[in-house]
Amino acid sequence: MSSRRTLVYAACQLGGWGLYGLSNILLSILFIATTSRGGEQFASRTAWTVLMCLSGGLLTHLARTWLPMREWVRLPMRRLALLVPLTCSALGLVQQVIGLVLAYPVLHIYGASDFSFTFIITGGAFWAVVMLMWLLTYLTVHFVEQARETERERWRQEVAAQTSELRFLKAQLQPHFLFNCLNSVRALIVEDPARAQQAVTRLSTLLRHALSSHGPETVPLSQELQVVRDYLSLEGIRLEERLRVREDVAPETLGIAVPAMLVQTLVENAIKHGIAQTPEGGEVTVLTRVREGALLLEVANTPAPSGTPAPPHSNGEGLHNASERLRLLCGAGASLQLDQTSAVLTTARVRIPLPP
Amino acid sequence: MRVLIVDDERLARAELRRLLAAFPDVEVVGEATHVEQARQQVEALTPDLLLLDIQMPGGTGFDVLEHLDEPPDVIFTTAYDAHAVRAFSVNALDYLLKPIEAERLAEALERVRQRGHVQQPPETSRPAGTPLERVFVRDGERCWLVQLAQVPLISSEGNYSRLHLPGHQPLLLRSLSYLEEKLDPARFFRASRQHLINLDFVETLEPGPGGTLVARLRGGPEVEMSRRQSLRFRERMSL
């Protein structure tokens, strides 16, 4: 890729300066070769043009190597408005000095009488304009490339967002949970009709939330926690005394925006991999704090006894998706980590930096 | 029909009990809530039928079956498990989706009753020491209850054994020596350290090198007997 870019650059350099030289030579054929001393002048003028093209090419090449020009496309316009004229003037001046040295002592195109202040300045200005054209061409190419790259990146992000949303939707409507839940509710209808009714209400709320939550991407933590409570109470019907829940929520965290279904996914994991795998059950803890300018969110559970085979179809995809969504919605500063170092507690830890 | 319910959720067990109450010939002899307990209960209660949940603490319903010496008939119950459902070759093992429909339960029970009549004498409680009749095997995504009488050849693979059935060769989590002890000696013969052959499947016997015997089994495979076992086989046949 980069060798291809170098090749394109070399072709542009050669082509551009070559074209400039060629058109100059053609012009001198038209205007100088026809005059009396034309033949002799034409030779030295052609030599001068060729040398000037070489020096121009070399100068711009050195400028490209030494100056961070490729980064200029990212600079604000105000900086560019200063940088571009300065660079052109400097390059033009150097080129003019080289041109004069070549023209006067080396090729004797001019006599000493030809030199005037205006002559020198006009020449310098001319070369500055040539350099400006070179620089503009160079920057345009890079601007276009940058724009295309940005567009591509945007598409990539959009596709990633859509894919994760799709996976997320599918993961939300967990059939296993849903049918187990309905089964419990059916048993409850005979055993405890009031609790059965309550369960149906909770299930409805949860389904409604799951179906609508692709609308707003983030929700206030308080809303997310309400969903989690509905979910936990339904799992509580299924798991009964095996599921113990503890909430430790700092009031100042309630308004903070979190990706919808994030805590839900973590709690679901805690139950699937921890509580449901243990015959005597265990505890799920949800803790939220504001610490060092960030929301700290922890979901901890008593892990399954060691040696328990992983539940089927659990390849950590839920956690991976949650992590991807988190970064997509809350920026690269947000993180999700699963801490399994403790034998008595598995903790999923989320950090979301707060806007300053 | 004596039934053991295995499910980690009390409400799910209660629901099953309620559904089973409609069948006068069904007696729920016990309940288990996890893999280890299920194994113990099967050994202790020797039920005719297991109503077995797939996802449980400590493993799956398959883990319960794989280590049972004499697995009873099984109906799996599951909330939803696309893979597991695919795993059953339905004529061998049945499954019910939760919430369970009474009608589907009746069908499944009827199937078990019929299977029971074909395979077992009416007195279902088997005294200890009766030869092993069938085993549960899992091969990748598929599961079977295999009638050992239908297995022509069993070969040794370290601590495991491979059942050579036409079309598939599932691995069994038992050693060949263990199987030799448990299987009906009138039917299975230890041909060599590597092989246990089903005598019902022996088509021809040919003399092999060094006074050994080579048994050709129905369905293809040839098994060379060891010298010692060839001798024993000859003795047995001449009796």
Question: CB of A190 within 8 Å of any CB in chain B?
Answer: yes
pLDDT at B3 over 90: yes
Angle at A168 between CA A167 and CA A171, to 5 degrees: 85
pLDDT at A243 over 90: yes
Question: CB of A170 within 8 Å of any CB in chain B?
Answer: no
Residue B206: count other Cβ atoms within 10 Å of its Cβ.
11
Q: How far is the alpha carbon of A234 from chain B, nearest alpha carbon, in Å?
A: 13
Selection from A58, A135, A11, A69 nearest residue A3 by Cα? A11
The pLDDT, as a whole number, for residue B85 is 63
The answer to whether B29 touches B3, Cβ cutoff 8 Å, is yes
Instruction: Report the half-sphere exposure of A170 (CA within 13 A, side-chain side).
Output: 9
Selection from B188, B72, B190 nearest residue B136 by Cα? B72
Give chain B positions within 8 Å (CB) of A175: 79-80
- Would the CA dihedral through B164, B166, B170, B172 be positive or negative? negative
The β-bridge partners of B227 are: none
Q: Find the CB nearest B14 among A187, A308, A313.
A: A187
Q: Which of A215-219, A277-281, B34-38, B155-159 has the lowest mean pLDDT?
A: A215-219
pLDDT at A311 over 90: no
- A19, two tokens: 């074209």
The pLDDT, as a whole number, for residue B124 is 47
The answer to whether A177 touches B95, Cβ cutoff 8 Å, is no
**Is the Cβ pair B57, A276 closer than 8 Å?**
yes
For A176, nearest residue in chain B (alpha carbons): B80
Looking up tokens 């060729």 gives: A50
More confident residue, A161 or A121: A121
**Is the Cβ pair A176, B60 closer than 8 Å?**
no
Question: CB of A192 within 8 Å of any CB in chain B?
Answer: no
Give chain B positions within 8 Å (CB) of A308: 57-59
The pLDDT, as a whole number, for residue A64 is 86
The pLDDT, as a whole number, for residue B95 is 85
Q: Find the CB nearest A186 among B15, B81, B83.
A: B15
**Is the Cβ pair A180, B100 closer than 8 Å?**
no
Cα B174 to chain center, whole Å? 12
pLDDT in tens, B163-196: 998 888 888 888 999 898 888 888 899 999 999 9
pLDDT at A244 over 80: yes
Looking up tokens 């012009």 gives: A27
Question: CB of B59 within 8 Å of any CB in chain A?
Answer: yes
Instruction: Report the half-sphere exposure of A219 (CA within 13 A, side-chain side).
Output: 20
> What is the ipTM score, two decimals?
0.74
Question: CB of A355 within 8 Å of any CB in chain B?
Answer: no
For B100, nearest residue in chain A (alpha carbons): A183
The DSSP call for residue B165 is B
Q: Tell me the backbone φ, ψ of residue A244, rounded to 5 degrees.
A: -115, 135
Q: What is the mean pLDDT of chain B?
A: 84
pLDDT at A113 over 90: no
Give chain A positions within 8 Å (CB) of B33: 279
Question: CB of B99 within 8 Å of any CB in chain A?
Answer: yes
Question: CB of B101 within 8 Å of any CB in chain A?
Answer: no
